[in-house]
Structure 1
Amino acid sequence: MKIITIFILIFTSIICKSQKNFSTEYEARYTLDYKLIKSEKEPRLTTFILLMNNKESYFKSMNVYVGDSLMYYKKIKENENSLNNLKYTSEYPENIGITLGKIYVTSPISEGFAAYEESNNINWKLVNEFKTIGNAKCQKAITTKYGRNWIAYFNPKIPLNFGPYKFNKLPGLIVELYDDKDEFHYKLYKFKKRKGLCPFANSYKLKKPVKKEKVYMWRKNMILDMNAYKSIVKEDPETLRESERKLRKLYDDYNTIELSPD
């Protein structure tokens, strides 16, 4: 969708850096099939990277991760607002850091970056059901979190208590995760050891501490920001009115991964 694509570009065009290293021992990569718009017939597809050591993890869109890497090593320019940089944006641009007790999130907003934290208090129920994923026998677990019912399969032979998005605290790496409506479906497609430092992890400055609920409203309200739309798209008044009508429909149909803050 042209309009959604434009707003992704606007939403993630402000990139400000400061260095912060993340000590990495393992790397996992996930696909996500998702419905950004509830009425979409077919899900969209994107990818994420999860960096881990035994005590903490760091989760990020693969597109944003690659873009941050290129900026850190000065292969592309910071603050460059161009269609060429669109491939380094994401509809899910958060940086998510997880420790035993806390979840730390940094998310871009129109003025810079918003930061919030929440308790890492997810509670799972282990289910005596198993399925083979790849060559591994994985166990099922269920939880209710963020307004959705979630099903996970974890591999107990990979003793890392992490997984995609904010999900963690299972006795093994989460290799598959989805909600019961199957609107968001993560699958592990790569896992390997990776020892070293990631020098650009969560490297955004000018972060504004906010309440978590505001981040999701800011993101949704960006869809209705016609002034931002007009600033980069020159169209006649009639076409702009039609675009505004479409934006309002998208606003009503927008599907957030979190339906509630807890």
Structure 2
Amino acid sequence: MKIVIFLSTIFPLFLFSQKSFPVEYEADYKLVYKLKNTQYAPQNETTFALLINKSSSYFKNINKYIGDSLILEKKLKETGNTVKDLANYGKYRTQFPEGIGTTNAKIYYSTEIEGKAFDYEEENNIKWKVVNEYKTILGFKSQKAITKKYGRTWIAWFTEEIPFPFGPYKFNDLPGLIVEVYDDKDDYHYTMYSFRKRKYVCASANIFKNSKTVSKEKIFDYQRNKYQKYLNRFDNFIENKEELEELKKRSMQASKEYNPIELSIN
């Protein structure tokens, strides 16, 4: 029973269908990131797809993109075998389950938390300082820009040779596509590795069905405190007091070391 509950919590993808997104271009990015704020924190890597059309973009982790597409096409579904389902769905797990839609006026964020879908929107009000500094990235002449956002200082490189004002994560509103962006501590570093023309409708790109709209503060607080929220759950599963206390200490330490991409809400 515990394994089944765990499966339904970790892999809620099959519960949701998603709105479609018309794609004209796709830029793919590698993210190198550190989930801990310690001196020798290990680096992790993952990849994302930025789907683009003339008026908007949608940003999504590629693992989740593929997994959601397979679920929508009914090529990935529960078999009733818990071990097999864990393995099958586990291929598409990610630390970044959110989808981020961007228009000129708004940023739309949706994610899943403990088997439920939530979303919020925020003003698209990022302010950049464009610098007279250039370099070549993937053969594109790129210019530097700097901003302070979400508790970090960010350095971006954009190219006017690709005239779309979009970029990875929530970064946008420059005179060309953002091909590289990273914070000044290099905790989160996005680099584009592919750009190509596409022409299709991505049926699994966008917002979760029956997603509950909440304030950004609620999502932000959950993500900042998620390790602490697990502490009380140990009481229901572990009877050995010494083992329980050790797990709680580890969770508290993990909470202190957690290094999310957004350190502040604005």
The normalised TM-score by structure 1 is 0.89
2:103 counterpart residue number: 99
In the alignment, which residue of structure 1 is the partner of 2:126?
Answer: 122
Aligned to 1:207: 211
Give structure 2 stretches of 5+ with no counterpart.
1-5
**Distance change in 2, residues 1:256/1:174 (3 Å):** same
Letter in 2 for 1:62: I
| 1:20 paired to 2:19 | yes
Alpha-carbon contact 1:154-1:172 (below 8 Å) kept: yes
- Aligned residue number for residue 3 of structure 1: none
Deviations 1:191-244 (A, max 9, x none): 10011100111241231111112112223433231465688x879553343222
Amino acid at match of 2:167: G
Conserved? CA contact 1:24–1:197, under 8 Å: yes
Amino acid at match of 1:77: K
- 2:213 is the alignment partner of 1:192: no
Greater displacement, 156-165 / 217-226: 217-226
AA partner of residue 76 (structure 2): I
User: C-alpha separation between the residues in 2 aligned to 1:140 and 1:9?
Assistant: 44
Write the mapping of 1:9-158 to structure 2, written as runs, cut at 5 A: 12-15=10-13, 16-39=15-38, 40-77=40-77, 82-158=86-162
- The aligned length equals 254
- For the 8 Å contact 2:165–2:176, the answer to whether it is kept is yes
Distance 1:230 1:85 in 2: 28
The answer as to whether partners of 2:35 and 2:41 remain within 8 angstroms in 1 is: no
Contact 2:181 2:190 in 1 (8 A): yes
Deviates more, 1:192-201 or 1:40-49: 40-49
**Cα RMSD after superposing both structures:** 2.4
Candidates 169, 172, 186, aligned match of 1:168: 172
Does structure 1 retain, via aligned residues, the 8 Å contact 2:227–2:251? yes
Identity %: 48
Matched to 2:12, the amino acid is I
What SS does the aligned partner of 1:30 have? strand
Distance 2:50 2:180 in 1: 13
Q: Distance in 2 between matches of 1:134 and 1:229?
A: 48
Contact 2:142/2:160 (8 A) holds in 1: yes
Aligned partners of 2:134 and 2:223: how far apart in 1?
38
- Structure 1 residue 241 and structure 2 residue 242: aligned? no
**Aligned amino acid, residue 36 of structure 1:** L
* Equivalent of 1:218 in 217, 222, 229: 222
1:137 CA drift (Å) = 1.5
Deviates more, 1:163-172 or 1:219-228: 219-228
Q: Residues 129 and 88 of structure 1: is their aligned pair in 2 closer, same or farther, counting only changes over 3 Å?
A: same
Residue 123 to residue 184, structure 1, CA distance change in 2 (3 Å): same
The 1:134/1:228 distance shift into structure 2, 3 A limit, reads same
Distance 1:28 1:230, change over 3 A: farther
Q: Distance in 2 between matches of 1:10 and 1:18?
A: 16
Provide the C-alpha distance between the structure 2 equivalents of 1:238 and 1:95, rounded to a whole number of angstroms.
Answer: 40
State the SS of the aligned residue for 2:217.
helix
Residue identity matched to 1:28:
A
Aligned partner letter, 1:49: A
TM-score by length of structure 2 reads 0.87
In structure 1, stretches of 5+ residues that fail to align are 1-7
1:253 shift after superposition: 0.7
Distance across 2 between alignment mates of 1:226 and 1:14: 22
